[in-house]
Structure 1
């Protein structure tokens, strides 16, 4: 596979809007990731790329000056962050988290979504079951230790104050259980059980519908992108990663429906990376998302490219999000689905290093490849070609999955 561009008009100035997934971290994390990984990719691929302070008003971002294939391009990149909404959703007590566990598991099991998702890809379903299993294991271990220590204390107290022994043993046991659960939660930066539980419960709690707070934020994002579409930029590129991909689908659908994409404005492009769309679109009340998927897939106002990789166990790799949801219209033309092919675009040494780092691999789309193919995040976001020009004539992956397996297909 060639990593150089193919054809199309040259982009001198680009606006990029990155929509992260369910992430409570400040967007400066993405700037540092971009700075580090772009430098690595530029050295590997033989082009120049420099980050500078942003030149536009609005959300957190940075400016990129790049020279690739003999062409100079300036890019203003901004992060459309919703980390405050994520943090609010994560502000749950330990008991509340276990209630979320029960509700989330019930939502996916009793709706039948869990079993249908497994027919697509087992990896992301296992990732979704991980926090359930880990939290239940933590509870079981704490209860076992609490029961054991409580019993020992009860036997000791029974020698002195027999009447009080059962109550003292119970109090000690409960205290040990609570202390153990708090200890496990304090280690969640390594275990990810609470984080992932909050992530999956975020959509499950409303059975796939967006919360009012999220809808309001998405409307703000739409306004920001609409303003960029009024400028003289050569391209406005929206990048949605992980759960940010399905937010982007709805935001872009709203922009086009509301006739806020000028015919003589910048080229509009959409790049979805590591998407987990079926985790939401397969839920009963995800009518808004299903309608937006169907609508956007047939629109000529934009180019939509979807990139995943089977090596990413957290994404629905090569699953056409429109087709598998069962809402593909007769005139469907998007997305173009292909693989970042981690096992080919990463050297054997690098793949061996990353293979079992599942959450790191979920972010590989935003990182450097030491054997780059035709997917290069830094050529797409800072290079001289539009997304349409870069992938003109590029066939979709032959192994893509398009079988409609979703039970719920009603649309708003």
Structure 2
């Protein structure tokens, strides 16, 4: 479908779908600016960014010369950070209630145990906020209890005051509760270092509806679908959708809707989908994720799109080398996509760079969008700003032999 795969790309439209992220998309522009310059210096090509006029979506323009071919690229970020911020605006007690509900959804449904059969890393990442929040609560409770002897000693031993038992205990309890609340608020204020609240809200967002898209997200998917449909009427040679982390399963649904609606012109731009660091099973393994499972099944057999899925075992926050269609138990007999392969961090990063990043788990989850100092056949900036379509670039690329492509999910029902 679209322009022939042998056409050299001179113009490209890129739509980047971030994961569950409350921060303004400006961060992605600055990341692209700095990391593209670093990769260009390593790989020997030219690339530069310019700002775009304000529009419906935040974006920027890229001009590059790669393999002696000039390419112009317009990048837009499909923003849903406002939805994320709204879902995170909860109190401390409400977050602990989320913890209980989310744990019940994943444990009670059996999804957690099946996810552990795929990769331990993302399951540990999912359990981390539970453990960290319980630890914080335990420390706060310990401080509350410790206030009893502290206040008693201060009043009786230091100040020499004499209080009856009941007023004394009430004062100790009040001081203890106050200290515990203050400590919990301090922990929340420092969540930029702990990520406990952030990750808890992330997992709770999908778990609250057991994998179904909340209404506000369905409305945003419809808007994004219209935006990409418009781009498919342009003179670009390729329209590339990039979904990172939770953005990958949004991309699946957007593209499935686009094709179902007959909005991919036969003579339009090549349509490509690049999913990076995906966490699809965290949603597709839930009981009510009928819509996502139907979209996975449908998209995996379509000729209108080229779908490449890139992960890496070094990324402990993604389901590395897990075919999101197959492990969800919805692979059709005529399945074509995705092509699953590894970014192989231990090979594409120098030993010194890998040593520097190895234990920075959240930074590694974004490595797909960054420069590699020993690049192989995965280069985010050549994919987004180079002269080859995604289909041409990986036409002869075999899938990784160590990929997991067996059905694991307990729930395989799909939307009608």
Per-residue deviation, residues 52-101 of structure 1 (Å, max 9, x unmatched): 12279541101111100011110000100100000000001000000000
* Corresponding residue to 1:146 among 144, 147, 157: 144
Distance 1:54 1:298 in 2: 36
Matching of residues 47-58 of structure 1 within 5 Å: 47-54=45-52, 57-58=55-56
CA contact (8 A) 1:123 1:313 kept: yes
Change (3 A) 1:240 1:43: same
Establish whether residue 161 from structure 1 lines up as the match of residue 159 from structure 2. Answer: no
Per-residue deviation, residues 184-226 of structure 1 (Å, max 9, x unmatched): 0111000000000001101001110111001101111001000
Q: Which residue of 1 aligns with 2:62?
A: 64
Please report how far the alpha carbon of residue 250 of structure 1 lies from its aligned counterpart in structure 2 after TM superposition: 0.3
Matching of residues 261-276 of structure 1 within 5 Å: 261-276=264-279
Establish whether residue 391 from structure 1 lines up as the match of residue 394 from structure 2. Answer: yes
Please report how far the alpha carbon of residue 150 of structure 1 lies from its aligned counterpart in structure 2 after TM superposition: 2.6
Q: Which residue of 1 aligns with 2:281?
A: 278
Q: Which residue of 2 aligns with 1:309?
A: 312
Q: Which residue of 2 aligns with 1:247?
A: 250
Q: Which residue of 2 aligns with 1:136?
A: 134
Q: Which residue of 1 aligns with 2:262?
A: 259
* Corresponding residue to 1:184 among 187, 194, 198: 187
Q: Which residue of 2 aligns with 1:103?
A: 101
> Counterpart of 2:320 in 1: which secondary structure?
coil
| Greater than 3 Å deviation, 4+ residue runs | 55-58, 154-159
Establish whether residue 89 from structure 1 lines up as the match of residue 87 from structure 2. Answer: yes
> Counterpart of 2:222 in 1: which secondary structure?
helix
Please report how far the alpha carbon of residue 122 of structure 1 lies from its aligned counterpart in structure 2 after TM superposition: 0.1
> Counterpart of 1:298 in 2: which secondary structure?
coil
State the TM-score, normalizing by the size of structure 2. Answer: 0.96
Matching of residues 312-351 of structure 1 within 5 Å: 312-351=315-354
Distance 1:59 1:218 in 2: 13
**Which segment drifts farther, 322-331 or 50-59?**
50-59
* Corresponding residue to 1:233 among 223, 233, 236: 236
CA contact (8 A) 1:13 1:235 kept: yes
* Corresponding residue to 1:17 among 15, 18, 22: 15
> Counterpart of 2:85 in 1: which secondary structure?
helix
Distance 1:94 1:59 in 2: 32
Q: Which residue of 2 aligns with 1:203?
A: 206
Q: Which residue of 2 aligns with 1:116?
A: 114
Please report how far the alpha carbon of residue 9 of structure 1 lies from its aligned counterpart in structure 2 after TM superposition: 1.9
* Corresponding residue to 1:46 among 29, 39, 44: 44
For these two proteins, the number of residue pairs brought into alignment is 406
Establish whether residue 357 from structure 1 lines up as the match of residue 360 from structure 2. Answer: yes
> Counterpart of 1:381 in 2: which secondary structure?
helix
Please report how far the alpha carbon of residue 241 of structure 1 lies from its aligned counterpart in structure 2 after TM superposition: 0.1
Q: Which residue of 2 aligns with 1:3?
A: none
Q: Over aligned residues, Cα RMSD in angstroms?
A: 1.1
Please report how far the alpha carbon of residue 388 of structure 1 lies from its aligned counterpart in structure 2 after TM superposition: 0.1
Change (3 A) 1:377 1:307: same
Distance 2:191 2:322 in 1: 30
> Counterpart of 1:400 in 2: which secondary structure?
coil
> Counterpart of 2:99 in 1: which secondary structure?
helix
Please report how far the alpha carbon of residue 156 of structure 1 lies from its aligned counterpart in structure 2 after TM superposition: 5.2
> Counterpart of 2:387 in 1: which secondary structure?
coil
State the TM-score, normalizing by the size of structure 1. Answer: 0.97
CA contact (8 A) 1:323 1:404 kept: yes
Distance 1:53 1:64 in 2: 9
5+ unaligned residues in a row in structure 1: which ranges?
1-6
> Counterpart of 1:209 in 2: which secondary structure?
coil
Distance 2:375 2:343 in 1: 9
Change (3 A) 1:182 1:57: closer
CA contact (8 A) 1:116 1:405 kept: yes
Please report how far the alpha carbon of residue 157 of structure 1 lies from its aligned counterpart in structure 2 after TM superposition: 4.8
Distance 1:144 1:395 in 2: 55
Q: Which residue of 1 aligns with 2:370?
A: 367
Per-residue deviation, residues 217-247 of structure 1 (Å, max 9, x unmatched): 1111001000000111100000000000000
